[in-house]
Amino acid sequence: MTIAFLTASVSRSAGGLFDAVRSLAGSLRDNGDYPVQVFGLHDRNTEADRGAWGDVPVRTFEVAGPAAFGFAAGLERALEAAQPGIVHVHGLWMYPSVASLRWAKRGGRYVISPHGMLDPWAVNNSRWKKRLAGALYEHSHLRGATCLHGLNQAEADAFRAYGLRNPVCVIPNGVEIPTGRPAVPAPWKDGLPKDARVLFYIGRLHPKKGLRALLQGWSTVQRDAKRSGWQLVIAGWDQDGCERELRALASTLGLNESVHFIGPQFGDSKAACFHGAGAFILPSVSEGLPMTVLEAWAYGLPVLMTRQCNLPEGQAAGAALMMEPDADSIAGTLRRLFSMSEAEREATGARGRQLVQERFQWRVIGRKMADVYDWVLDAGPKPDFVLK
C-alpha cells in the first residue's frame, strides 16, 4: 500500500523541509516499510534537484496564480488516480492542504506534519494571511487529520494551544551519520587563514533565524574572535532580500574581515562545510526541530543554539551551549566557545554525535512513522508515542 507525501516544494530551496521529507521517504522505502510517492509543486529549482531523491518517485505540478498559495490543477487529479492508503501532508497554508482535504472527503485518511508552522512565532508571522487561509480551508484540514505529527513535545503543545485535539505522534527529525571524508575542500579554504577556526551557520537567510542578532553579538566580541582565531561563515539561500540586509549590517558593524557569506551549499560542498567547521551556531527565534543541528552533531561539532530550537536533549547531554536569541546572550555564549580548549570542544561534539547515534538516525525515525501508518490503517496497535 502506497503512502502519498504532499509537499509544497521538492527542491533544496525548501531547506530543512526538503531534507526531512526526502530522508523520511527514503527511509520508509529502504526499510521495506511502505512504498512512498511524492507529490509536489514545480518551481525553478525542481529539475536541478530531482536527482537528489534517488529512487523515490517524485511528481511535480505546475503552479498557476500566486506562488504563495501554489494552486496546481493537476495535483488533485493525480492524487485521486494514485489511490494511496494514506496521504501524509508536509507543511501548511498552501494548496496541497486543499487537495488533501478534498481527497479525504472521499473517505481517505491523512497525517499532517506542520514542521514548526504552528509554533507561536510562525503563526504570528503574516498573521492575517494565515487567518484567511485558516477560515477558508486550513482549520478544517487540521481538525480532520487522523493524526498530527509533532517533532517534539513543544510542537505537540503548540498544537493543543492552537485548539487542536487530534491524536499527536511525537517523532523527531533524523539524520545520517557521515562516513569518510568529503570529496571536495570547504569552500572557504582559500579565503581564510589556514589556522582559522570556523563557526558555521547554514540555513535560510530569514528573520526567524536570528542572524541579525548574531551579527550584533559577533560585533561585541570580534576582538575576542580575532585573538582566538575564529571566523564566522554564513551559508544559505536568501529569502525576501534578507541577505542584502545582513551584508549591509555586517559592513556597517565593520565585520567584513571576520564574517563571510558563501551562499547555498549542497551535497559534497555542504558536507565539506560541516567537516571543516570548528563549531555550529543556530540563533533562531523559532524552530520545529532543526535538521542542521542534528547534522552538526552527526559531524561531531559542538553546537551553539537557542532554547527555541526545541532540542533540550542537546543541553541535557552536554552537547550544546545554550543562549537566547538576542545579541547580549549570543555574545556571552560566543565568549564561552572562544574560551574552550580544543579537547573541550571535541568532547562536546562527541556527545552530540553519540546522541544522534542513539536517538536521531533515519532508520529509527522511519520505523516509528511506519508504526503510526499501521495504526492509522487499523493494521497495528497505537504506538506509545501517540498522544490522545
Residue numbers of the chain with a pLDDT score lower than 50: none
Residue-wise pLDDT tens digits, 281-310: 999 998 878 889 999 999 999 999 999 998
> Which single residue is written with the C-alpha cell 559577533?
218
pLDDT at position 340 is 97
Cell of residue 137, nine digits: 480551508
| DSSP class of 238 | B
User: Which secondary-structure segment (H or E) carries 71?
Assistant: none
Neighbours of 94 (CB within 10 A): 24
147 contacts: CB under 8 Å, gap ≥ 6: 111, 112, 166, 167, 168, 169, 372, 375, 376, 386
- In the chain, alpha helices (H): 16-30, 46-49, 73-82, 95-104, 120-124, 127-133, 139-143, 153-161, 211-220, 222-228, 242-252, 267-276, 291-298, 312-316, 327-339, 342-359, 362-376
| DSSP class of 361 | B
CA distances from 107 to 82, 83, 101, 144, 346 (A): 14, 11, 10, 11, 53
pLDDT at position 31 is 74
Residue-wise pLDDT tens digits, 363-380: 889 999 999 999 999 999
* Cβ-contact 366, 32 below 8 angstroms: no
Q: With 0.85 as the threshold, say if the pTM is over it.
A: no
Cell of residue 245, nine digits: 540586509
Neighbours of 92 (CB within 10 A): 23
pLDDT at position 262 is 96
pLDDT at position 370 is 94
| DSSP class of 208 | G
